[in-house]
Structure 1
Amino acid sequence: MTELTQNPFASTHSLDANPFDDPPTQSSSSFSTTKDTRLEQLSQRERDLERREQELNTKAEHIRTHGRNNWPFIFPLIYHSISEEIPEASRPLITRLYQLWLVLLGTLLINMVACIFILLAGSSDGGKDLGGSIGYIFLIGPLSFLLWYRPIYNAYMKEQSLYYYLYFFFGGFHLLFSVYMIIGIPSTGSAGLIQTIQMYSRHAIVAAILGTVATVGWTVQGVGNAFYFRQIWQHHTAAGHSMEKAKGELASHGAKAYFTRG
């Protein structure tokens, strides 16, 4: 019988180390380096978060004070957003007023082109009409926005009496101007009714058609503004706005309130 030289209970995969010993660890210098790196990363992340928060706060403060300029879109000077700044119940009215202002701009341009053709048709006052029509574009265009549209926009946004009275004064003046342009007196820069009739009588068809379009434009924006002028007056009365409140607001906020969002 052959003698066994190996222990049958011995394992070929016996453990060389005590299983109850702690696992090997990194050296103290390596651990310290890793810890410092992580601390530096956390510190950098905190600085980034603080910087971003400061930038957001700065932007928010700028928006609150000055608004996010978005109008006109070619060269933004002011912030204009009916959906964000006007109460929901008043948005349709302000939208219609803005559309009427756009009709006014279009009418000013058509009026100028009509005056060019009136001059070409041989009108003795054609030069004066053309000069006046060009002046209206650069005068009435921006002033109508600043003096009657912007005040009523601010009035419904802020519900302050001062803006309502600014609108009533300059909006009333614009209604008179619209009637003046509808009539179309020669040499006034208007291709309105009288000028259009004269062009039809001279068989200057192009000038007559453009005059008709201009007259319709003046009438549409004039009648529309008159209709909403009455509605705004009723709203202002029902809301309890008064001249005394307007004077108090002017004394408290000054003219700068016209350009701020608050």
Structure 2
Amino acid sequence: MSEHDSNPFTEPELSNPFQDPSVALARQTSTAMAAGLEEFNPFTDSKLTAMTSKPLLVAPGVPTQPAVMKPTEEPPVYSQPQAQETTGGASELLKRQEELERKAAELDRREREMQSLNVSGGRRNNWPPLPEKFPVGPCFYHDITVDIPVEYQKTVKLMYYLWMFHTGTLLANLVGALAWFGVDPTHGVDFGLAILWFLLFTPCSFVCWYRPVYGAFKSDSSFRFFLFFFVYICQLGIYVLQSVGIAGWGACGWISALMCLNTNVAAGVLMIMVAALFTSLAVMSLIMFKKVHTLYRTTGASFQKAQQELATGVMSNKTVQAAAANATSTAARGAFKEHI
């Protein structure tokens, strides 16, 4: 019983459990591992340092080039057209801006012109451009850039050039008729009528159809548009007759030119050139007639407006007002005398 009643913790071998050899060995191992982890530095590893310190060896015969990254995909197709579209839009905006600036400058110039005219007391006639010492002065004021709106200036300039071409053709017709009269004295009537047509149709064409179309675009007058259309249709018919060239009518047209060609080749060739001028004049006149008629339809003019403008113009005329006043006073006096 004494053996079982003894206290095992009082034995000297088991008095301190941490002095067990296995526990001490485990403690030493853990301490060594902890010390090794604390002192470990991967950047100072001897193997890594040796690898980095040695230069890289390149195989002989292999050229060394810098690495170049190549795109694996092509750029999208829509990128270039989109850039072109953007450039085209920018150029269109620049063109519009330049056009607006030009119109603004034109309006500014016209405003300054009108102000200067108001200060100077009115506009002075400047057409025809005659010398100052000439006994007869200019009869009209003619300035397309001042009187005509910007959108119609080109058309009015073309009509003015057409009138100058009309005058030059009549002058050439006069020369051709003179040549024909020189080779054949029996055609003196044609030469005399050619002089008459030049002296008559040159000023009449300016007053009867060019000035109406000039005033129509200047003031948007329906009455002047209708006056131009009526006179210009007659003028177009005259051009056709002159290009035909009936003998005895004073026009070097195709018939007259062929007749003169049998008499004299040089005079006949000159008359053929005049006939070609009359034909070209008729064709260009027809084109400009259509062009003016197209613009007329866009201005809002009408026959009713032409009637109103005519009535207003007649009633506002001082001569008509004076005649109406005289007629009214005469009728009133007659009625008063009858009552007396």
Instruction: State the TM-score, normalizing by the size of structure 1.
Output: 0.70
Query: For the Cα contact (< 8 Å) 1:185–1:194, is it kept in 2?
Result: yes
Equivalent of residue 91 in structure 1, options 153, 177, 181 = 153
Shift of 1:215: 1.3
Residues in 2 aligned to 1:56 and 1:239: alpha-carbon distance in whole angstroms: 28
Letter in 2 for 1:120: G
Residue deviations 1:92-117 (CA, integer Å, cap 9, x gap) = 11111111110111111110111111
Query: For the Cα contact (< 8 Å) 1:110–1:210, is it kept in 2?
Result: no
- Trace 1:98-137 onto structure 2 (pairs within 5 A): 98-122=160-184, 124=186, 126-137=187-198
Matched, 1:197 2:279: no
Shift of 1:140: 0.7
Query: For the Cα contact (< 8 Å) 1:192–1:214, is it kept in 2?
Result: yes
Equivalent of residue 239 in structure 1, options 299, 306, 327 = 299
What is the SS of the residue equivalent to 1:254? helix
| The structure with more radius of gyration | 2
Greater RCO (Cα-Cα under 8 Å, separation 6 or more): 1
Query: For the Cα contact (< 8 Å) 1:115–1:207, is it kept in 2?
Result: no
What is the SS of the residue equivalent to 2:235? helix
Paired residue for 2:272?
A: 212
Query: For the Cα contact (< 8 Å) 1:104–1:217, is it kept in 2?
Result: no
* RMSD, aligned CA: 2.0
Residue deviations 1:151-196 (CA, integer Å, cap 9, x gap) = 0011111111011000000000000000000000000000111111
- Trace 1:22-61 onto structure 2 (pairs within 5 A): 59-60=120-121
Q: Which runs of 5+ in 1 are unaligned?
A: 1-54, 258-262
Percent identical residues:
30
Equivalenced residue count is 196
| 4+ residue segments displaced more than 4 Å | 55-58
Paired residue for 1:80?
A: 142
Matched, 1:157 2:218: yes
What is the SS of the residue equivalent to 2:211? helix
Q: 1:115 to 1:154 in 2, by over 3 A?
A: same
Letter in 2 for 1:186: A
Shift of 1:218: 1.2
Instruction: State the TM-score, normalizing by the size of structure 2.
Output: 0.55
Residue deviations 1:188-228 (CA, integer Å, cap 9, x gap) = 000111111112222x1332232122112212222111101
Matched, 1:169 2:225: no
Letter in 2 for 1:93: T
